[in-house]
Structure 1
Amino acid sequence: MAAPVVDASWERVDAFEPPPMEQEGAWELVEDTSELIVLDLAQAESASSQAPTAPGTDVVLTGLETPTPMIKVGDTVMLGVHDELLGSEMVLERTADALTPLGPLDGSRPSGASSTSTRRITFTPARRTTHQVPAPEVEEEDMPLAWQAPV
């Protein structure tokens, strides 16, 4: 028979108390904030022969806080550029029937209400380039004697 998970060395705690602080104000509460960022893939869809938003397509987003974020949708790699917005953009939800009223919300699902964003990243497909570094031109005078052919 296995040993019980809770034995006599455990102590029941009725309420959690904050840890004792050596100094007043040593602890600071930091709240995480959420921010809506619009990812603009419109140019990527028009440039691609297949729709990158097909169901079941893998999406990988990296470097969101870097100057050039990258997104990989299926086999397509795209580079992003942060757009400076003068104001905010409204993000609306597309519904099947706009005349159908929304039912009451219980907090278990998103509200579907519009939101605003002050940040946008526009993505364009990355093109593979074959960058060849030209060999430096060497004059005969600079060439070692062992490399010079007899004339």
Structure 2
Amino acid sequence: MVDLEDLVEAVVDIEDIVEEIAEPDELLEDFLEEPLLIAFALGAAVAAVLTVLLVLATLVVLLFAVGPVAVLASLAVVGLLVTTLAVAGFVYFRTDVPAEVQRMIDAARDRSDETTHEGASMSEREAIDELKTQYAAGELTELELERALEDVLTSDDPGRVVERSR
């Protein structure tokens, strides 16, 4: 079940994604990794703006009792519904970690190796994925995750780093 804190965090994540429009490289990179997430975020932002404008227009028309109120009211209700669905879709598809932590994890994955070295229990990428799971489960703080990611990339046995972080 999504609580109010999750909803607020999702809206902040939507805002972060919309701000990436000014940085097309990051937006494209995020879109290639999570196309549905980005599409829902941008859809929610556009729908929210249109809904606010339609609600304001409806209020103006109601105040002055001019024009086809039923049409504007219907558009406002449809806009509200689309906004609600877009935010709900975004909340459903978003990851378990904040965007800034995901960037830190992605940077570590970019520097990591997929091969399991001799004597190691897992590869660096497997260890990074396990650390992400631990962070999402609340077993690690952001600072502990950052240290563990660095240790994974410099250790001969990334699996040992994962075990130490438990």
| TM-score in terms of structure 2 length | 0.25
**Which structure has more strand as a fraction of its residues?**
1
Higher relative contact order (CA 8 A, sep 6+): 1
What TM-score do you get using the length of structure 1 for normalisation? 0.27
More helix by share: 2
